[in-house]
Structure 1
Amino acid sequence: MKFTQRTRGMIKAIAVVLSLALPTVIAASYADARVGGGSSSGSRGSRTFSAPPSTTTAPKAAQPMNRTMTQPGSPSAPAATGGGFFNRPGMGMLGGLAAGFLGAGLLGMLFGGGLFSGLGGFASILGLILQIGLIILVVRLAMKWWQRRNAPAYASTGAGPAPAQNPQANYRSAMGFGLGSNAPPLEIKPEDYEAFERLLGEVQAAWSEEDVSKLERLSTPEMVSYFARDLADNKARNAVNKVTGVKLLQGDLAEAWREGDADYATVALRFSLVDKTFDRNNGQMIAGSDQPTEATEVWTFVRNRGGNWELSAIQQTN
């Protein structure tokens, strides 16, 4: 009877661990080999830790930054921490709590003894993994709730229609950009939208060519550092990602603002592309297809007064 109970416990633990590990396996797939790595990276100035308003192109909220060099500007923002496994990009407060549990031996107390008192068998090891997974799941849910609660809403909540004489309210360019109901404090002109679409294609092309020097001319130093790291990861896997046929399908301005001498514009982009990954040694395609796929991302651009726009951040949509 005791053996049967242990066997059932092992099966339940394995099922839970696999369900928790599945998203990680998917995130590490070659589908994330494209520019940006399928994560949310970069900086949006003082609004880095605030979600940009939703738009017609991206009605769902943009994901918070997994990688950013911007220091938190408020007590509610996630704190910057040092290195180590539990402080990898994207772990944040979650890593600190997990490390704290391990360091204090609280996980061992959950098993009724010391930290390693319950590791006498395989089932106990699975039980330890299960406890860690449950703690991580609870903390992630708490973090998401806290971020939604403290994210300021930039969308207009006032009643009444927007003035019809606003020249930007119904703007449509040949590139497919539109503007929602959020009237930006910084005027974005047709030539700015043209620059955004051009950067969309040029960044993708430079990424496919693994041309870091060209990426430096198109992006901020912070974004270049992430691109260089992702390209190095692809090389370590003997993979090369090629993106072709990039075409903007729809775009909306989420918000535009000014900070000192810097102008910022956050734009939702829905575009099609042919995304393929090849083996670097033999040239065989290992992921992707010849058929175009669609992606929706939120890109933020920045420029110094009188300068050119540069890519400052890429955020995935939920």
Structure 2
Amino acid sequence: MRRPARILTIAAAALLALAPVLAEARPGGRASSGSRGARTYQAPPPTNTAPNQARPFERTQTEAARPAAPQAAPGALRPQGAQGGFFGRNPFLAGLLGGGLLGLMLGGGFLSGGFAGLLGVMLQLALIAGLVLLLMAVLRRRAQPAPAGMARTMEGGAPRLGGSAGAAAAPVSIAQADYAAFEALLRDVNAAWSARDLSALSRLATPEMVGYFRDDYAALDARGWRNETRDVRLEQGDLAETWREGAREYATVAMRFSLVDVTRETATGRVTEGDPERRDVATELWTFVRVPGGPWQLSAIQQTG
């Protein structure tokens, strides 16, 4: 084996060995996982806490919406009897313009018909100029940007959304108790994750998210590793958006938090990633779902930037 090929093979093997550590540690696997209902494929609005756009979901059970039926391509065959365009509806003008141009190409010239020919030339030139001006006006209208939606404002701690996103569903009123619940879920999910308590995670998260937690545990176990997070502190958070879908209410919250995040070898306790004496800082978008009057549950975790 040539030296460059050997180096590439060793590097690929090293990346495969390290990939589970980088991809599976911390709740959610440091990936965008879960579902945001009908807005799964729509990025949450930016906030002060998370100004960068969220990463699309790498793991989700929500199917993408089917594309609309394609429209007929330009130049497609038309039904018999259909008239196409301005000249199709005005054959006399088309013949007049084509005749003048044809006369020029054959050497007769525009003025071969005397005074009548001169009038024909003037009419044709006026028609050409009018068509050019009409085309320019159409192009200018198409080039103008569409008017933007209303600016997003905050009222009473809940966003009022403008444009198509806000028109899809009325926002959900979020009270101080809800913010306290979001912060508690951040801590409780991490505690249950570190304790490998699937029963607690089933109360705190949707079945879809619990399934991803199981997958991440299995991937860590296959390498003989265990991830633990502790001393989770919410440093900053704000509401990105809320909405209703049928009997469910959704809220997406941007959260910047610090924690101790360490992955160890299960058998020896040797640290494979992280530092038990150092705090890491992460910014994620967590989406919560509930039925009115019920407790919030974690529905999705999205990475930013």
Q: Give the TM-score normalised by structure 2.
A: 0.64
- Paired residue for 1:58? 50
Q: Output aligned runs, 1:264-275, within 5 Å.
A: 264-275=250-261
Correspondence list, 1:211-250, <5 A: 211-250=197-236
Shift of 1:304: 1.0
1:303 aligns with 2:299: no
Which residue of 291, 301, 304 corresponds with 1:314?
Answer: 301
Matched, 1:286 2:272: yes
1:167 partner letter? G
Equivalents in 1 of 2:66, 2:11: separation in Å? Answer: 35
Q: Distance in 2 between matches of 1:41 and 1:233?
A: 16
- Tell me: CA distance 1:181–1:259, structure 2 relative to 1, closer, same or farther (3 Å): closer
Distance in 1 (alpha carbons) for counterparts of 2:160 and 2:232:
24
| Partner amino acid, structure 1, of 2:262 | K
Identify which of 69, 72, 76 aligns with 2:61: 69
Residue 277 of structure 1: CA displacement? Answer: 1.1
- Cα distance change of structure 1 residues 234 and 18 upon mapping to structure 2, 3 Å threshold: closer
Quick one: structure 1 residues 317 and 23, their matched pair in 2 at CA, closer, same or farther if it must change by over 3 Å?
farther
Q: CA deviation at 1:282?
A: 1.5
Equivalent in 172, 175, 178 of residue 186 of structure 1: 172
Paired position in structure 2 for 1:201: 187
Residue-by-residue CA offset, 1:98-151 (whole Å, 9 max, x unaligned): xxxxxxxxxxxxxxxxxxxxxxxxxxxxxxxxxxxxxxxxxxxxxxxxxxxxxx
Aligned residue number for residue 157 of structure 2: 168
Q: 1:196, CA displacement in angstroms? A: 0.3
Instruction: Report the alpha carbon displacement of residue 236 of structure 1 after superposing the two structures with TM.
Output: 1.0
Identity of aligned residues (%): 49
Structure 2 CA distance for aligned equivalents of residues 256 and 232 of structure 1: 33
* Deviation (angstroms), 1:14: 9.3
What's the counterpart of residue 89 of structure 1? none
Question: Aligned partners of 1:279, 1:168: CA distance in 2, in Å?
Answer: 44
Where do 4+ consecutive residues of structure 1 move more than 6 Å?
13-26, 179-184
Q: Please report how far the alpha carbon of residue 162 of structure 1 lies from its aligned counterpart in structure 2 after TM superposition.
A: 4.9
Say if 2:32 and 2:301, in contact at 8 Å, map to a contact too: yes
* RMSD between superposed Cα atoms in Å: 3.1
| 3-state SS of 1:229 partner | helix
Give, in whole Å, the separation in 1 of the partners of 2:44 and 2:17: 28
Q: Gaps (5+ residues) in structure 2? A: 69-147
**Is contact 1:180–1:253 with CA below 8 Å preserved after alignment?**
no
Report the Cα distance in structure 2 between the residues aligned to 1:306 and 1:51, rounded to whole angstroms.
27
CA drift of 1:72 comes to: 1.7
Taking a change above 3 Å as real, the CA distance of residues 181 and 304 of structure 1, as seen in their structure-2 partners, is: closer
The aligned counterpart of 2:242 is: 256
Preserved contact between residue 31 and residue 302 of structure 2 (Cα < 8 Å) = yes
**Number of residue equivalences:** 218
How much does 1:158 deviate?
A: 2.7
Indicate if the aligned counterparts of 2:254 and 2:285 stay in contact, CA closer than 8 A: yes
1:22-53 deviation per Cα after TM superposition (whole angstroms, max 9, x unaligned): 98776543474111111111010000011111
Tell me, what secondary structure is at the counterpart of 1:29?
helix
How far has the Cα of 1:180 moved from its partner?
Answer: 9.5
Cα separation, 1, equivalents of 2:246 and 2:59: 24
Q: Which amino acid aligns with 1:317?
A: T
> Pick from 1, 6, 31: which aligns with 1:39?
31
Tell whether the 8 Å contact from 1:31 to 1:288 is kept in structure 2 after alignment: no
Partner amino acid for 1:56? N
Alignment of 1:93-104 (within 5 A): none
Change (3 A) 1:208 1:221: same
Partners of 1:20 and 1:30 lie apart in 2 by 15
Report the TM-score, using the length of structure 1 for normalisation: 0.61
CA contact (8 A) 1:31 1:287 kept: no
Give the 3-state SS of the residue equivalent to 1:67 in structure 2.
Answer: coil
SS in 1 for 2:39: coil
Q: What's the CA shift for 1:61?
A: 0.5
